[in-house]
Copies of this chain bind each other. A is one copy, B any other.
Amino acid sequence: MTRVVNRLPSLPIERALKTISGRWKAVILYHLMDGPKRLSALQRLLPQISQKVLVQQLRELEEHRLVDRKVFGQVPPRVDYSATPLGLSLQPIMLALCEWGTHHARELDESR
C-alpha cells in the first residue's frame, strides 16, 4: 500500500467541493453530526455501501480532518468515528445545499 498525498486544489471553492464530494461523504457526515458512531453502526445506517468503500470514504474524511477516528485497544476491537469541529463547521453549508437541492428539484419538475 503506497501512501499518496492527494493534495487538494488551492482554489478555495474547488478545495471545498473536492473535500465533500465523494459518493457517500455527505451522508456519512450527516450521520456523524449527531454523535460518534462505530463502524458497524454506520454499516447498519447505510446498507447500500460496501464495507470497503465505507472505510475508504472514512479514511479520506479523516485525512482531510473532517472526521476523527478513535481506537479503543480492546478485544474485540472497537473504533469510534466522529465529526471534528472542522467537520461540524460544514453543517450550515450542508443544510443550505440540502435546501437548494429540493428547490432545484421543484424547479426542474415544473418545466415538464
- Using A21-B21, A93-B93 as known contacts, say yes or no to A13 and B65 having CB atoms under 8 A apart: no
Answer whether residue A35 sits at the interface, using C-beta atoms and an 8 A cutoff: no
Report the bound CA distance from A65 to B108 in whole Å.
8
Q: Give chain A's interface residue range (CB within 8 Å of chain B).
A: 35 or more
Question: Contacting chain B: which of A49-57, A67-75, A96-104?
Answer: A96-104
The answer on a CB contact under 8 Å between A90 and B100 is yes
Q: Select one of B14, B27, B111 contacting A11, CB under 8 A.
A: B27
The answer on a CB contact under 8 Å between A86 and B107 is yes
Report the bound CA distance from A98 to B12 in whole Å.
5
The answer on a CB contact under 8 Å between B108 and A12 is no
Answer whether residue A41 sits at the interface, using C-beta atoms and an 8 A cutoff: no
Answer whether residue A89 sits at the interface, using C-beta atoms and an 8 A cutoff: yes
Report the bound CA distance from A2 to B107 in whole Å.
26
